[in-house]
Amino acid sequence: MHTLVVVPTYNEAQNIPELASQLFALGLPGLHLLVVDDNSPDGTAEIADELNQAYPGRVHVLRRPAKGGLGPAYVAGFREALRLGAERVLQMDADLSHPTEAVPRLLDALDRCDVAIGSRYIPGGGVDQEWGLSRKAMSRGGDLYVRAVLGLPVHDTKSGFKAFRREVLERLDLDSLQSKGFIFQAEVLYRCRAMGYRLQEVPFIFYDRRAGRSKLNMAIITEALWRSILLRWSKGPPRPPK
């Protein structure tokens, strides 16, 4: 297996077939899809299993017992990606907000870096035109806060659209990743940078989900505020696992 796309899901039955169709239409050799489902009541996992009829052996489903947060879902997905032997691991959302046409650019960037980050906030990137000023201000303000606290030289710290070389996930201490919400994305980048890995942002245009409901809530925002400080000051910069 050359490349595995890890997609966490909760009630994404309306989106996962279209995402799979778009990904496999790219024609990338050795591309597989891993759906990490948190026991979705809408049957997302069952629908993902059925996709193997159209894409034999290329769709994998990891079923988790209950909804446990974005971070733990990605950790489980990363472990499974390593077990399956993926050489490159790409993470993205199930809701079609991350354009599949940008996937090859992220993977190509791994020839020059260790972690490629899909970015809305560098030249060439952007967000859906329907975003209002308040939403844009909240998003950018969150990035400025996280960048300042963690000292990250990354414009889009919340991006869930990333690609990793296998060795990064092998050396990353997955047990140490404690964030549940979107601050998980910054935590991973913070630890990768502290280990000396090269980060590179790749522009993309972010689109609002077409179906389903956003998982963002006040608890996730609050976690981002205190977890950033905890990461920076509680134990100092993380060290590579032995």
| Domain annotation covers residue 240 | no
Give Cα separations from 81 to 15, 131, 132, 143, 185 (angstroms).
22, 34, 37, 28, 17
Query: Across the strands, what pairs with 60?
Result: 34
The tens digit of pLDDT for each residue in 5-59 reads 999 999 999 999 999 999 999 999 999 999 999 999 999 999 999 999 999 999 9
* CATH number assigned to the domain comprising residue 170: 3.90.550.10
Closest to 98 measured CA to CA, from 71, 113, 83, 117 = 117
| Domain annotation covers residue 55 | yes
Going by pLDDT thresholds of 50, 70 and 90, the confidence category of residue 131 is low
Going by pLDDT thresholds of 50, 70 and 90, the confidence category of residue 240 is very low
**How much is the pLDDT for 31?**
97
The tens digit of pLDDT for each residue in 70-117 reads 899 999 999 999 999 999 999 999 999 999 999 999 999 999 999 999
Cα–Cα distance measured from residue 148 to residue 142, given in angstroms and rounded to the nearest whole number: 10
Closest to 93 measured CA to CA, from 186, 12, 17 = 12
Give how many domains the chain has, as a whole number. 1
| Domain annotation covers residue 241 | no
**More confident position, 38 or 130:** 38
Give Cα separations from 147 to 6, 141, 187 (angstroms).
25, 10, 11
The tens digit of pLDDT for each residue in 176-235 reads 888 877 788 989 999 999 899 999 999 999 987 565 455 545 554 555 554 555 665 655
DSSP-derived pairing of the beta strands 3-9 and 115-119: unpaired
Cα–Cα distance measured from residue 185 to residue 164, given in angstroms and rounded to the nearest whole number: 13
| Structural domain of 29 | 3-233
| Domain annotation covers residue 238 | no
